[in-house]
Structure 1
Amino acid sequence: MTASHPTSAPRPTAGALCLVEASTTRRTSVDISVYVEQMTAHCPYLDPSLQRGLARWTVYRAAGDAEAVAEEIFHWIRALRPGAPD
């Protein structure tokens, strides 16, 4: 999905997140085994999804300060929600 806003001013936080590893079922750049173990205790759907190869992971590196990274994350969450306001 591509959101196009040609009249919008550039976001000053663009670039606060750098893609390290694109969406994959088997990430190689980071070990998240402890995180997954902790999350499966709270989410009964995660383990079966992982076993079936249905869970996908995307890895980013924070390249800005905490506020810029948070703004960039929320920008993309809003962009992925259909009908969400800018």
Structure 2
Amino acid sequence: MHTKFHILEAIDQSKFTDPLEIHVLEHSKLNAYNRDIESELLIDWAEFLSLNSEEKLMDFKDRTDLPEGKLKAIEEFERIKDDPNL
């Protein structure tokens, strides 16, 4: 479900920079993902990014176990989602 990439220099394979990573989340694999093995935080973010209706967003937002970072992400998403310029 989750793959992480780094940008490497072509000849010596050194990393371009440590902080730069590209994360790919495969939403189609989310339901089959084993919560006991993998990061709960990663799975929560994947679930948030795959929300496809206002109702699902509200259900997700009403969860009592969401950390502050996800609540801020939801608030920011709600602020910008209806602005065509953003």
TM over 0.5: no
Question: Which structure's residues are more often helix, by fraction?
Answer: 2
| TM-score, normalised relative to structure 1 | 0.24
Q: More relative contact order in 1 or in 2 (CA 8 Å, sep 6+)?
A: 1
